[in-house]
A and B are shown apart, each in its own frame.
Chain A
């Protein structure tokens, strides 16, 4: 059974295209040195966050690590605000103060963008605690990588969530690598999902290259949490096509592995499914892709033309009301 709020699949395919085209532009702008700091691309993993967002309600709490562009876009943050953030502009989703790794968008219930590996997972448990405390039926979606699974903070948060029966889905985006370290070289228990058992949290493995599987399986989990608050764990198997960050040549992995996952591309796959079922024509797809490219390009123009945050802004956010002594 599919959740009632389920978003239109063609619309979600077009979101996956937007994410990909946006990041290709970001990559190009990074190389042109318009973007500073660290920049981590999500290309290849689009079906994960898109499937999750399609399965969740727009007001469910969503929080992730530093590979966060797609999470904001999928939630509805404007591509202009996302690109402007990379450019460090005042119109960015974090006013140019956060950068690529620290996207935030309160309006769209995107609670960051967190760059210390594992550190946001307890925050997610806190958000889930708050919804239970207030008797709301919101679910928290907490994304993190396979590398984060070996941080103590993650395990403390999982135990707390299990203990207090918090309404949270721990979504481990297993893209097989944490920087240059593969899961085999970092983790004693090879099946990440089995970690959840240790906290009495039900676990599921999901194919992250398949939008429909992500949406449907997460949909079931989210529905069950909404009915009766409890934590769940989803290991979503996926792959990043690019290096860890813009400066990583990714020489630790094989061409064959990359090609294998590319051959299973989430966008190509959903497109084929929809085309086969007569829900999408080639012309429609091409038009969507063209629009995605145009939107991405327009976001660069918007970012370029946006103002820098004024210097006075520096002191505005250390405390609320600008107090700073």
Chain B
């Protein structure tokens, strides 16, 4: 294992899949000559050339749709959104074209496309630039969604997404791009299946279910709670939101009997709402307390730093929720 950044891990995944399959190409704003707005595609133009690493104008609806069309006739596009807030300009292509094609054509046309880029609030970008889109897309049958939180997951999930024969959204995290973690050596073929959660920390009193930016938050809180000698928290990273690893969720909750879901999206119809429903439906009798959710406040994102902080999930809010389900 070696330590690399989340950004490098994504870069390696892209490079490996581009090298492996000549049908794979990367398209998006500033991906080629600028090496990516967040430098995820650093060096790819130099290595793979302008035929496969393609800069676009600011035309999300157009190039996302091109991706779907190219996929229908056999290419395997990777479409980068500079951020998923801008994917809303291409909502029709992502929601109406990519996932519906297989059904509408009676099974004739599958769409092997990857939509990727940073998702969720970063820091003080305001209402238009801070969208956590996972709950919007998770509502759509025919889309798969993964949300890597570590460099290893970023690499393994992106590679799997590119090879999947269906539309997959890889929701990355701007705030995690520079974070570091251990990843297998470069020559190791790292593929992490979609729909497989990972226990990031074992515990016995409560399960904290998290994904993406809330994983480091949950780990920090779990450590703090343990140091204070109070509560032993288990941290389950979903890694994929769809398919959802219900088995892993139920296994952990059957052990701890208490759950907090911490998500980076909005509470109403958010990812946590679905998880709560599934848990109570399957193992209601094993729960020792009502499930708590920590999500954003239900307001458009304010620019002011203090107000933004108040909107986002925080260590304080998560600790309070954990204490509440543990009745401490």
Contacts and interface: CB of A to CB of B under 8 A. Distances in A.
B311 interface: yes
A36 B305 contact: yes
Given A102-B126, A117-B58, A152-B59, A179 B34 contact: yes
B1 to A, nearest CB: 32
A314 B57 contact: no
A148 B297 CA distance: 32
Interface in A91-112: 94, 96-99, 101-102
B28 to A, nearest CB: 11
Interface size class of A (residues with CB under 8 A): 35 or more
A36 B33 CA distance: 27
Interface string A134-176: 0000000000000110111100000000000000000000000
B29 interface: yes
B55 A181 contact: yes
B124 A119 contact: no
B299 to A, nearest CB: 5
Contact of A38 (B33, B129, B298, B302): B129
Interface in B223-247: none
Nearest to B82: A179
B91 to A, nearest CB: 12
B127 interface: yes
B306 interface: yes
B9 to A, nearest CB: 22
A323 interface: no
Contact of B304 (A150, A151, A152, A308): A308
Given A36-B305, A96-B304, A179-B34, A148 B58 contact: yes
A115 B33 CA distance: 23
A186 B129 contact: no
A101 B128 contact: yes
Contact of A99 (B33, B57, B303): B303
Contact of A98 (B34, B55, B57, B303): B303
B119 to A, nearest CB: 16
Nearest to B304: A88
A311 interface: yes
B307 interface: yes
A284 interface: no
B123 interface: yes
Contacts of B300: 317-318
Nearest to B307: A314
B33 A309 contact: no
A178 B58 contact: yes
Contacts of A187: 57
Contacts of B307: 88, 96-97, 309, 311, 313-314
B303 A115 contact: no
Contact of A180 (B34, B61, B129, B304): B34
B313 to A, nearest CB: 15
B128 A115 contact: yes
A179 B37 contact: yes
A37 B89 contact: no
Contact of B58 (A114, A150, A313): A150
Interface string A296-325: 000000000000110101110110000010
B59 A150 contact: yes
B30 interface: yes
Q: Is the interface of A mostly helix, strand, loop or mixed?
A: loop
Nearest to B127: A102
Chain B interface: which size bin? 20 to 34
B109 interface: no
B86 interface: yes
A1 interface: no
A314 B128 contact: no
B125 interface: yes
A89 B61 CA distance: 36
Contacts of A313: 302, 307
Contacts of B125: 37-38, 99
A97 B303 contact: yes
Interface string A117-134: 111000000000000000
B310 interface: yes
Contact of B305 (A88, A101, A119, A181): A88
A267 to B, nearest CB: 30
Contacts of A151: 58-59, 89
Interface string B90-129: 0000000000000000000000000000000001111111
A180 B89 CA distance: 21
Contacts of B34: 179-181, 252
B62 interface: yes
A260 interface: no
A255 interface: no
B124 A36 contact: yes
A56 to B, nearest CB: 26
A308 B309 CA distance: 13
Interface in B124-144: 124-129
Given A116-B89, A150-B58, A311-B306, A99 B126 contact: yes
Given A101-B128, A180-B34, 4 more contacts: A37-B126, A38-B125, A116-B88, A313-B302
Interface of A: 36-38, 88-89, 94, 96-99, 101-102, 114-119, 147-148, 150-153, 178-181, 185-187, 252, 308-309, 311, 313-315, 317-318, 324
9 closest Cβ pairs, A-B complex: A99-B303, A36-B124, A150-B57, A88-B304, A37-B124, A180-B34, A186-B57, A96-B304, A97-B302
Interface of B: 29-30, 33-34, 37, 55, 57-59, 61-62, 85-86, 88-89, 123-129, 297-300, 302-307, 310-311
17 contacts: A36-B123, A37-B123, A37-B124, A38-B129, A88-B124, A88-B307, A89-B304, A96-B302, A116-B89, A117-B86, A118-B89, A147-B57, A150-B58, A153-B89, A180-B30, A181-B30, A314-B311
